[in-house]
Chains A and B, each alone.
Chain A
Amino acid sequence: MSEWIVSADRIENFARLKEAGADAVLIGTDFYSARAMACIALSDYPKAKQEAQRLSLKLYVLMNRMFAETELDAMRAHLHLLKELDVDGIYYGDEGVLWESMRLGMQDKLIYHPDTLLTNSYDVNYYLQEGIQRVVLAKEITLEEIKQIAHHSIPSRIELLVHGRVNVMHSKRWLLSAYMEHLGKPCDLHARKDLAIIETKREEAMPILEDDLGTHVFSGYTLASFEELDELLEVGYTHFRIDGIFYDIDWVCEALRLYRSVEAKESKGREVFRSYAQTHREAHVGSGFYYKKTGLHKG
């Protein structure tokens, strides 16, 4: 049984996501969540839980902030709240969250999502043995490596981000504000999703977002995995995520329906990829690192 996880922007849209084929929704909130599609007020979390339950959707929350020493009380309070709410999963990247969850006996809620760090089955197995629910693989490994990892670990407890702009860099610094300050321009670029950078010798426009958690740079392409889905299912992967940051709920629903149709063998992944890339030219649809090997030197 596969599980399709999608980012959600509003509680009111859970029903639409369900209708498009979602099994789980992922929500974020200010302070605790890095790179959420949208932030939902903490006071609305009970309502989110209720709505998810009503629709038989799992409710996952992003808690992937890096916590400073002075923020540990907030970390603990948040874990208590999430335990009480009985959310279905908590994405984290800071080992402090793992430690505090262990103390609360709730590590089975955790989904380790360190963006770049999980690149092999040894590390996957290490974290799964800690009793957490699931891990999310890095996006910078090849399809072949992803398949190898499935053979050497438990693919049903590994999640793959299959669709969306992928995070390339997270700095704690406010790099856009610093640059504007340097130029002496009174320009507020904080929390804006319409900004991009292009390296001066290249063409690729990479979205850049500065918010309270720092600065995040995203891939110039939008990852799509229609063509690889069959192979991923075949080796035992079951958890797939679509991330709609920089897009809207229609966009998420459309992609989800297409994946569902490929999974149900109603359409062919390769053809879906081609037509999707055609109709979404502005998104620069690509295959990420599936077929691109990285190394130590220039390729």
Chain B
Amino acid sequence: MKRERVELLSPAGDLERLKIAVMYGADAVYIGGKQFSLRSRASNFGLTEIAEGVRFAKQYGARIHVTVNMLPHEADLEGLKTYLRELERIGVTAVIVASAAIMQIAKEVAPRLEVHVSTQHSTTNSSAIAYWEKKGMDRVVLARECSLDEIIATTKASNIPIEAFIHGAMCISYSGRCVLSNHMTDRDANRGGCAQSCRWKYRLYENGEAIHDEADPFSMSSKDMMACRYIPQLIEAGVASFKIEGRMKSVYYIATLVKTYRMLIDEYYEKGVISEERMAYYEKEFAKAENRPSGVGFYAGMPRAAGHLYEESRNPLIQEFIAYILDYDEKTQMAYIEVRNHFAVGAGAEVFGPNCLNRPFVISDLFDENKEALSVAKTPMQRLYMKIPFSVKRHDMIRRRRSI
């Protein structure tokens, strides 16, 4: 059976990030509506914004998926049917749903919407997928607890498309099977209020006696997942969609990951192989967008100590993203930029963008909007002028260049 090319599915927390994801090469973008969605702080999309997102994506042949993935309480479902019909009307491709009742309602009231079974269901086998297939669901998002071998076997044994997470933060628990946040903070993890209590520090007691290390306490914090090495095998296995986690993540994170995965996937389809040298290159690129140290999640089997974060790895990583390019004047070679993180004149930097790959330069001339020369940029979101000795475009980004 000839399969379509795998879908690269990016998150986006607002319209700006949605557009960046599409421009940088995502085949589909998933977003949270203001209603019925988890990750409440990342759900900035009203119906008007969703409609604009759909229109924008269409120009690039991309699709929009909307998360409708909360586990509602008794009073939470008012307006659901109207909402689903609206999503269908404005051209959303799919809804990602955790509640079986919402799945069924979606199928009834908005039959042109695909329904994707959320990872909140922790699907780990083809029998569960066969059940969802019989219920008319269009796709299942696998649990992040599956190993590579399990993903391959499950995909081969299933008839409907399978979506697998390839990158991003991981719940320590089976998704949805954790209410630490509810118990410790009264914030409902399954309705968008998760406080990430798992990542806090805990003392550990055996029969009332402390057995933890005070300076290095117990925690239930997973390293982020980076599964780029498994992309060729996942493509060969017939996985339909590669999902990047992170509706709360920055525009820079999305641009870096989408662009790099786009290149990696396209290179694999073109050459049929990714050399070790190329894979090392891609890993280095992904590392530029790291929020926390990464591991491979469950891809290589059960994560052990090295798959988790403890005291020594809590320090935030260096922010690489320096500035966003708003405009560029070819004649003067001056870029109009928006500052994102501190940098100084003399620093090594590189530009990357939808059509621009890591062009290095040294930051020389920097001016504020009154044409006053500056030696450092330290105010995020400040707009400045910077000399860049080659042509760049709006939506390109500038990042710090690590000394090699």
Which A residues form the contact surface with B (CB < 8 A)?
66-72, 75, 94-100, 102, 114-117, 119-123, 125-127, 138, 140-141, 145, 148-149, 152, 168-179, 181-183, 187, 189, 192, 194-202, 204-206, 208, 215, 217, 219-220, 289, 292-299
CB-defined contacts of B131 to chain A, threshold 8 Å? 95-96, 98-99, 102
Which residue of chain A lies nearest to B153 when distances are taken between CB atoms in the complex? A69
* Pair count A-B, CB < 8 A: 244
Interfacial chain A residues near B146, Cβ < 8 Å: 68-69
A173–B172 contact, CB under 8 A? yes
Q: Of B74, B128, B134, B308, which contacts A145 at CB under 8 A?
A: B74
- When A and B form their complex, which 3 residue pairs have the shortest distance between CB atoms, in order from nearest? A96-B127, A122-B101, A299-B186
Closest residue on chain B to residue A192 by CB atoms: B206
Q: How far is the CA of A97 from the CA of B130 in the complex (A)?
A: 11
What is the chain B residue whose CB lies nearest that of A144?
Answer: B74
For the complex, give the distance between the alpha carbons of A97 and B100 in Å: 16
Looking at B104, B120, B145, B305, which has the most chain A CB atoms within 10 Å of its CB? B305
Chain B residues, CB < 8 A from A122: 72, 77, 99, 101-102, 105
Residue B355 CB within 8 A of the other chain: no
Q: Which of A75, A100, A181 contacts B305 (CB 8 A)?
A: A181
Contact with A along B149-181 (1 / 0, CB 8 A): 110011001000000000000001110111110
Q: Does B192 contact A (CB under 8 A)?
A: yes
Query: Who on chain A is nearest to B222 by CB?
Result: A173
In the assembled complex, which residues on chain B have CB atoms less than 8 Å from the CB atom of A97? 127
CB <8 Å contact, B303 and A140: no
B220 on the A face (CB < 8 A)? yes
B74 in contact with A95 (CB, 8 Å): no
Whether the pair B174, A172 counts as a contact (CB closer than 8 A) is: yes
User: Is B132 located at the chain interface by the 8 A CB criterion?
Assistant: yes
Contact of A94 with B303 in the complex, beta carbons under 8 Å: no
- Does B111 belong to the interface (CB within 8 Å)? no
Cβ of B305 and Cβ of A296 under 8 Å apart? no
11 additional A-B residue pairs with CB within 8 Å, beyond A99-B130, A99-B131, A168-B178 = A68-B147, A122-B102, A126-B101, A171-B178, A172-B174, A175-B172, A197-B218, A217-B220, A294-B188, A296-B188, A298-B187
Give complex CA distance A224, B202 in Å. Answer: 26
List the A residue with the shortest CB-CB distance to B133.
A99
- The answer to whether B310 and A182 touch across the interface, beta carbons within 8 angstroms, is yes
Cβ–Cβ < 8 Å partners of B303 in chain A? 173, 178
- CA of A95 to CA of B121 in the docked complex: distance in angstroms? 9
- Contact stretch, chosen from B45-53, B193-201, B228-236, B380-388: B193-201
Query: Can you sample 16 A-B contacts with CB below 8 Å?
Result: A67-B125, A67-B127, A68-B147, A69-B125, A70-B153, A117-B120, A127-B100, A178-B308, A182-B305, A197-B205, A198-B205, A295-B188, A295-B191, A296-B191, A296-B192, A298-B195
Asked if A95 meets B132 with Cβ closer than 8 Å, knowing A202-B184, A294-B186, A295-B187, the reply is yes
B121 / chain A contacts, CB cutoff of 8 Å: 95, 117
Q: How far is the CB of B77 from chain A (nearest CB, A)?
A: 6
Given contacts A200-B200, A200-B202, contact A171 B174 (CB under 8 A): yes
A140 and B145 form a contact (CB under 8 A) = no
Q: CB distance A119 to B72 under 8 Å? A: yes
CB–CB B178/A169 < 8 A? yes
Interface residue tally on B, bucketed by range: 35 or more
B389 located at the interface, meaning its Cβ lies under 8 Å from any Cβ of chain A in the complex: no
Given contacts A120-B76, A122-B101, contact A205 B205 (CB under 8 A): yes
From 209 to 234 in chain B, residues with beta carbon under 8 angstroms from any chain A beta carbon are 211-213, 216-220, 222
The distance in angstroms between the C-alpha atoms of A123 and B70, with both chains bound, is: 12
What residue in chain B is nearest A96 (Cβ atoms)?
B127
Taken together as a complex, chains A and B put the C-alpha atoms of A198 and B76 apart, in Å, by 33
Kindly state the separation between the CA atoms of A289 and B128 in the bound complex, as whole angstroms. Answer: 31
Q: Is B71 an interface residue (CB 8 A)?
A: yes
A114 to B259 Cα, complex, angstroms: 38
B40 within 8 A of A: yes
Within 8 Å CB of B191, what residues of A?
A: 294-296
Contact status A189-B206, CB under 8 Å: yes
Smallest beta-carbon distance A243→chain B, Å: 16
Interface presence of B275 (CB below 8 A): no
* Interchain nearest-CB distance for A72 vs B (Å): 6
User: B298 at interface (Cβ–Cβ under 8 A)?
Assistant: yes
The contact of A120 among B74, B143, B179, by CB within 8 Å, is B74
Q: Which residues of B sit under 8 angstroms from A120, Cβ to Cβ?
A: 71-74, 76-77, 99, 101
Verify B190–A116 contact, CB threshold 8 A. yes
Q: Which residues of A contact B172 (CB under 8 A)?
A: 169, 171, 173, 175
